[in-house]
Amino acid sequence: MNLTLGFIGLGHMGSPMLRRLVAAGHPVVAFDPRAEALDGAVRAGAAAGADVRDVADRADVVLASLPTPQASLEVSGGIRHGARIRRFVDLSTVGATTAQQVHERLREHGISTLDCPVSGGVHGAEQGTLALMVSGPRTEFDSLRTVLEALGRPIFVSESPGAAQTMKLVNNMLAATALAATAEAVVMGVRAGLDPGVMIDVLNAGSGGTHASRDKFPRAVLPRTFDYGFATGLMAKDVDLYLDEARSLQAPSDIAAAIGRCWSDTVAAEGPDSDFTAVIKPMEAAAGVLVDGRPTDSDPSAPA
């Protein structure tokens, strides 16, 4: 028998994930406070929930993709009295402390929680190629594996609540570092007179290449579209969560602290809703250059 799924939080990531679950044949009840997001889910084949509690009254398993730890705590408060819900899968990045609070709060109501933060961006959500990092009861992971496989590759991290969140913050600290460091280095090269497109080609053929140079720069920085699909405010949140956890563990965090300043500068200059690839803009302004990789009329490789 197919489980009825609930899906709460239909943003950049949630909407394409919901579409994949519907396409895989799962009945889904959806909710988002933004009416246009909920309309999109209904057009994709989901039923509309009236609110968070209604989703938990109608679904066996509720998944959520929410922007902040506060939103995850609010939603866990709203679903805990749901008549039908037995399992909650939090796909959001919220940090280990919030994940542990959510586990505890729902356990008191007989609901098991899997932390399941994801990596791979909007493109990965659309293609079903996300990496899903999972912590919580192994038996729940095994029974929900086919649901998670509609979204990407589930990797079991540990039974400890919050462990997958720590793993996700480690991943995002490194992704943030690669993007900010590549931006700073490319700005320096352009200031010295190098061509940004040639720089990215060389980095990708050499040892300086990362996901930032292979995917983020060609897709959203060189064409100056700044539309990769992840908000600057969310990247700043993830680096801050990493720093909080590293400091509470008394682990070294000098590099993360410097990267955190890049993202807070970007929030101040470009706003929290700007795309996180805009991290290069304050660096360009400071150096007085523009990293523009769009083809010019005189470019022999430009399309006719």
Residues assigned a catalytic role: 168
Output the smallest distance, CB 267 to ligand NAD, in A: 14
Distance CA 149, CA 170 (A): 23
Closest CA to 260 of 183, 188, 186, 177: 177
Give the residue with the Cβ less far from ligand NAD, 71 or 170.
Answer: 71
CB-based closest residue to ligand NAD: 11
Contact characters 111-140, ligand NAD, x per CB under 6 A: -------xx-xx------------------
Q: Is 12 in the site for ligand NAD (CB under 6 A)?
A: yes
Site for ligand NAD in 26-55 (CB under 6 A): 32-34, 37, 52
Output the smallest distance, CB 61 to ligand NAD, in A: 17
Only segment of 42-50, 64-72, 210-218, 293-301 that touches ligand NAD (CB under 6 A) = 64-72
Q: Is 171 in the site for ligand NAD (CB under 6 A)?
A: no
Give the residue with the Cβ less far from ligand NAD, 223 or 272.
Answer: 272
Contact characters 215-254, ligand NAD, x per CB under 6 A: --------------xx---x---x----------------
Distance CA 267, CA 234 (A): 10
Site for ligand NAD in 68-107 (CB under 6 A): 71, 74-75, 92-93
Give the residue with the Cβ less far from ligand NAD, 132 or 200.
Answer: 132
Which residues are at the interface with ligand NAD (CB under 6 A)? 8-14, 32-34, 37, 52, 65-67, 71, 74-75, 92-93, 118-119, 121-122, 229-230, 234, 238
